[in-house]
Chain A
């Protein structure tokens, strides 16, 4: 039972559960507090972890995770390698739209240890969405929090008519001429 499965347990009524995975604790805290402060019509439970697999002891207390967000700090190679190691502990069915990557700190190119192209390729191979963000200002964090809230709402099935599978195609640019 080391892998996290998306549809293992029953969903909660009018609530969504989110798992934030990332090495930087400050980033996780900032994002979580911003998400909880936002006005919303449903409840959000945010769980945080440094890496997967999650410890087995509290398995029965955890809710069904609707979305897993991987926070990659572009200033450290370690966070990328942790994320890559955690990806193997995730069930395949999660990658049908319930995974999101957030790349933090891409603005200061001097400090970037991780190449943006690597992160892009990671997101593409796993068919997941990639968000870029700087966690310097409150506005930035709030903006990212809002986007993640929207995505969580869709992934939890709280928006009738849209399922998590659509997120990939909705969030892609429609002007990619090389595809035609």
Chain B
């Protein structure tokens, strides 16, 4: 081959190669012309085709290798079928999600470009946006308030519970005290204590009588007992109510 002039022809050849590689094997070509550059195109195109055909045959070969007798049992096949169905469902769902995300992105992009146009419609959009912002901030504030109120309610409920418990404890105390007192009363019906009680009562009566007598003596005598400390002392001691010792 002749030595081509540097750079000029090389550039042209590389351009041709670039064109061929972009076309792949689907180039439009008329088979009559067999000029040397087109011969190169043809060869490259055929190479691509043969590569692809080889890939296909290889794939079929690999596929046919995998079929083994154990794998053909019906349970295994149904399991495999179920798994494949699940995979299909997963792919469908992910595809739907991706289209949704894509559509959202498209919408947001369109909105942004619309706003940037800064014409009448964009003002409307801006108004809507500010309105949305205001509403969402008020929503957040109200939610915060609800949370506070709920907390307060919770505290109050806790206190009420504590008080209720205390109340019930007190009631229990009262009940036990009452039952104790009743038991005491029952005890007192005991004979011995009855006798003692009788004696005590008699003593208290006599003491009360004596107290009254002395009080009347002192009062009847019209003596100013407040002046004399001894008399004052006696009078005050006479004031004690003996029946409180029952």
A41 B29 Cβ-Cβ under 8 A: yes
Tell me whether B49 is interfacial, beta carbon within 8 Å.
yes
Please give, as numbers and ranges, the residues of chain A lying within 8 Å of B177 by CB-CB distance.
none
How many B residues touch the partner, as a band? Answer: 20 to 34
Assuming the contacts A7-B57, A7-B60, asked whether A160 and B49 have C-beta atoms less than 8 A apart, the reply is yes
Q: Is the interface of A mostly helix, strand, loop or mixed?
A: loop
Q: Does A157 contact B (CB under 8 A)?
A: yes
Which A residues lie within 8 Å of B25 (CB)? 158-160
- Chain B interface residues toward A at CB < 8 A: 24-29, 31, 46, 48-53, 55-57, 59-60, 92, 96
Which DSSP category, helix, strand, loop or mixed, fits chain B's interface? helix
Residue-wise interface mask of A (151-169) relative to B, using a CB-CB cutoff of 8 A (1 in contact, 0 not): 0000011111101100000
Q: Which residue of B lies closest to A157 (CB)?
A: B53
Residues of chain A contacted by B59 (CB below 8 angstroms): 163
Closest CB in chain A relative to B77 CB, distance in Å = 15
Q: Quick check: A157 and B28 within 8 Å, CB to CB? A: no
Q: Contact at A41–B46, with CB atoms within 8 Å?
A: no
List, sorted by A's number, 17 A–B pairs whose CB atoms are closer than 8 Å: A7-B60, A13-B49, A13-B50, A14-B46, A14-B49, A41-B26, A41-B28, A41-B29, A93-B60, A157-B49, A158-B25, A159-B26, A159-B52, A160-B48, A160-B52, A161-B24, A180-B92
What residues make up the interface of A, taking CB atoms closer than 8 Å to B? 6-7, 11, 13-14, 41, 93, 156-161, 163-164, 180
Determine the distance from Cα of A164 to Cα of B60 in the docked complex, in whole angstroms: 12
Q: A11-B53, A157-B52 are in contact. List 20 more A-B contacts (CB 8 A).
A: A7-B57, A13-B46, A13-B49, A41-B26, A41-B28, A41-B29, A41-B31, A93-B60, A158-B25, A158-B49, A158-B52, A158-B53, A159-B25, A159-B26, A160-B49, A161-B24, A161-B52, A163-B56, A164-B56, A180-B92
Is B28's CB under 8 angstroms from A180's CB?
A: no
In the complex, chain A residues whose CB is within 8 Å of the CB of B55:
157
Least CB distance, B64 to chain A, in whole angstroms: 8
Residues of B within 8 A of A93 (CB): 60
A6 to B60, CA, bound (A): 10
Q: How far apart are the CA atoms of A158 and B24 in the complex, in Å?
A: 10
Interface-central residue, A6, A157, A180, by most chain B CB under 10 Å: A157
What residue in chain B is nearest A43 (Cβ atoms)? B31
Cβ–Cβ < 8 Å partners of B52 in chain A: 157-161
Q: Is the CB of A180 within 8 A of B96?
A: yes
With A7-B57, A41-B28, A93-B60 given, is the CB distance from A160 to B51 under 8 Å? yes
Shortest Cβ gap from A149 to chain B (Å): 13
